[in-house]
Amino acid sequence: MKTKRRVALLSMAICVIILSSCTSRRKINTRIQDTAVKYAITFLSNSYDYDKNKDYKLHGPYYQMDIEYPVAYELLENDTRIVTVYVYDMNELYSDGDREKENYFAFPYVFEKQSVLSEEWIYGNKDIKLNEKMTLESVETVEITEETRTTPETVYDLIKQSCYGNVDFITEKWDLITVYDYVKTYNIEINEETKTINVTPEGRRKYPVAIDGQIRMLVDFSDDFTPLGAWFMENENEPAYLSLIYDKTAFIVVNNWQPYYFANSAVITADLDDCYFDKVIVDPEGISTYINTNEYPTADCMTLVFRKSLNQLMELAHRNQPIEILFEFKQGQ
């Protein structure tokens, strides 16, 4: 009898251990995993010069028992950590979120040699291979929605008011304000389902403003001419395209769009010698560095998505006209 009782107690103990180990493994919503995968693919395609001969995977999920969000994944290249992807529930962050819908977004953290995931994080023991999910290598189509808007004279006074409201932050004394037509900016991203690169207008109008002959400010408006503020510029942080405005060279600005965090941009002209690429490189140890160059960009300094669409973007820039002066006004007018 004692032997049977010991066996029964041992069986119960084993069951308790198994159950407790099961409860320590949280079931992760597939939408959370899908969000992490989509972010990782977009990151590798847009912000990281991945090598298709290397192995890429998401390592995770990591989570904390008493905290529901975020859920974390490590993005690995040949088992070397690149970044960690945190997935949040927007309904948890914003009180006006629609609780009826699953609404997740990803945010990356660039590691500096050591993982920030401490012992409090529980590892879910699931690797997601990404190589077969890479869509950029098979992209053949680039679809461009061309910008065709104009600036009506009826909004000149509105632009002038925005200039008056911001120019005093730069200088109290000025004579002539020159407003140029807006810079045409586009977003570029990958449609994972159709394996197409889509180039679409950004939906904002940034008007360069010169004070007594020198462009010192960008006045920003939405499509419906709602003022969005102004960007002030000095010599050390002038956009690369200012010289193109002065030289009357046609160009477009393309944002290599990355959800919520990484956003690279490029100034595209019909001549590669004038193109300017601003690229975020993330090295294998995870330290971010910025590479800016006015020279002809080598393949290593260009994201893959730009390599796939550069010829079409240059054609689009060629079809544009150089930015002209929209109107001018003097102080007191």
- pLDDT for 94 equals 47
Contact 222, 168 (CB under 8 A): no
Contact 148, 91 (CB under 8 A): no
- pLDDT for 14 equals 45
- Measured distance between the N- and C-terminal CA atoms of the chain, rounded to whole angstroms: 105
CA distances from 106 to 28, 36, 56, 71, 84 (A): 15, 6, 18, 9, 10
Rounded to two decimals, the pTM is: 0.70
Residues forming a β-bridge with 178:
210, 328
Q: Determine the average pLDDT of the residues in 22-34.
A: 70
Which range, 162-176, 187-201, 241-255, has the best average confidence (pLDDT)? 241-255
3-state SS assignment for residue 206: strand
Residue 30, H or E segment: helix 30-46
Rounded-to-10 torsion of CA 36, 42, 48, 259: -80
* Nearest-angstrom CA–CA distance, 5 and 13: 12
Range list of β-strands (E), the chain: 56-64, 67-77, 80-89, 104-110, 122-129, 141-144, 176-180, 185-191, 196-201, 204-211, 214-222, 227-232, 252-256, 264-268, 276-282, 288-293, 325-330
* Nearest-angstrom CA–CA distance, 164 and 167: 6
pLDDT band at 275 (very low <50, low <70, confident <90, very high): confident
| pLDDT reading at 229 higher than 90 | no
